[in-house]
Amino acid sequence: MNLRTNLGLRAAAVLGLVLIAAGAAAGYAANKFGKPKSVIHVVTLYYKDGTTEEQKKVVAAALERMAADLPGVRNVWLKSTKVQGAYMEKVTENKERPADVTYKAHPFTDAFVIEFEDQAAFEKYADHPAHKAFEEVYIPVRGRSSTHDITN
């Protein structure tokens, strides 16, 4: 084997090893994830009929104010990109014959999320004055909501 062929093979081998190492590093990085101890408070909802976009913006602004005033809030998410599910409301068609019951679906249309730094911060949230102030704006226009609290 001549010197030129030997150098070419070595260069190809080194390049191959570099590509393999880069691919392995990329694969390792792609699969990294954490399991934080924060608490995620997820709220899905629909607003009452007749609620305007301006009223919804007022709710979002009140949510931001609450998050700023609550100790232990890490993040908030305010813009829904996809919301699934519905609340089934029991509707009695005939008050004299309660067996005539139907259900009306109200699709959830909006969602927001609050991330608390830990369980202790989450537990203080419900009775905090900032939460009470938020509810004064939110409850009058909320049709129905569903909450999900998640942690590791």
- Check if CATH label 3.40.50.720 holds for domain 39-150: no
Residue 29: the pLDDT is 63
Which residue carries 């976009």 as its tokens?
Answer: 53
The residue ranges of every structural domain in the chain are 1-33, 39-150
Main-chain dihedrals φ then ψ at residue 84, nearest 5 degrees: -115, 160
Per residue in 12-64, pLDDT (tens digit) is 665 566 567 666 666 666 778 889 999 999 999 999 999 999 999 999 999 99
Per residue in 125-148, pLDDT (tens digit) is 999 999 999 999 999 999 999 999
Strands ordered across the beta sheet of 39-47 = 73-77, 110-116, 39-47, 142-150
pTM equals 0.71
Residue 7: the pLDDT is 55
What DSSP assignment string belongs to 14-69? Answer: HHHHHHHHHHHHHHHHHT-------EEEEEEEEEPTT--HHHHHHHHHHHHHHHHH
Per residue in 67-111, pLDDT (tens digit) is 999 999 999 999 988 888 877 877 766 666 666 677 778 888 999
